[in-house]
Amino acid sequence: GAPTRLSALWPDNPVVLVTASITCSPACAAMPDLTEIRQRFGDRVAVFVLCVQEAHPGGAVSHYCPNQPPRPPNENEGRRQPCSPAEYLGFARDFSRTYATAAQIVVSSMDNIAWVAVGKRPNLGLHVDTGGKLLFKRGWFNSDRLLAAVADHLGKEPAAP
C-alpha cells in the first residue's frame, strides 16, 4: 500500500512495534514478552510485529551481512528468502500461527522498506506516541526496558500480571 505513518493508522493509542522474522530465534523467543505487554496495558497501547525479510535465509545473503556468502539453510526453519508477496505473507501467517502472540502481525514490502525506515536493526523494539514521536528504540528487543518506557509514557506502572 501507500506509505503511512503509524500514528495515522492507530491515532488513539501509542504503538509498540517489534521487527521479527520466523528464522530469527531471539525474535521468536521474545513473542511471549509482547503478549505480556498487551496483557499489562490492554487497549491503552497497540502492539505489532513487523515481519521483515528473513534474517538468516537458507541459500541467500542475509540483509544483515550483505558482504558474506549465502548461508546454508537455517537449522531452525530451513527457510529461504521469500520470492513473492504471497510467499512473504505466507511466512507472516506461519509466524503468527507458530508464536501465537497477542500482537497484530504486519508485513513490510518485498524491498523491506518498512524495516529500513524504522532502523535496519535485528529484533528492533520501538515505542511511538500517538503523534508519531519515537519514545523508545532498541535493537535486540528487551521487554523490561520496553515495559518501563511504555509505563513511563502512560504515567503509571503496568498492572501486575
- Residuewise pLDDT in 10s, the chain (161 residues): 455 665 566 768 888 988 888 777 778 888 888 888 888 888 889 888 888 876 665 566 666 666 666 555 544 556 666 778 888 888 888 888 887 777 888 887 777 777 778 877 778 888 988 888 889 998 877 778 888 888 898 876 545 44
Full-model pTM: 0.77
Beta strands in 14-133 (DSSP E): 15-20, 46-51, 104-107, 125-128
Q: CA nearest 109: which of 135, 85, 93, 144?
A: 85
Q: Are 52 and 160 in contact (CB under 8 A)?
A: no
Q: CA nearest 128: which of 25, 24, 117, 160?
A: 117
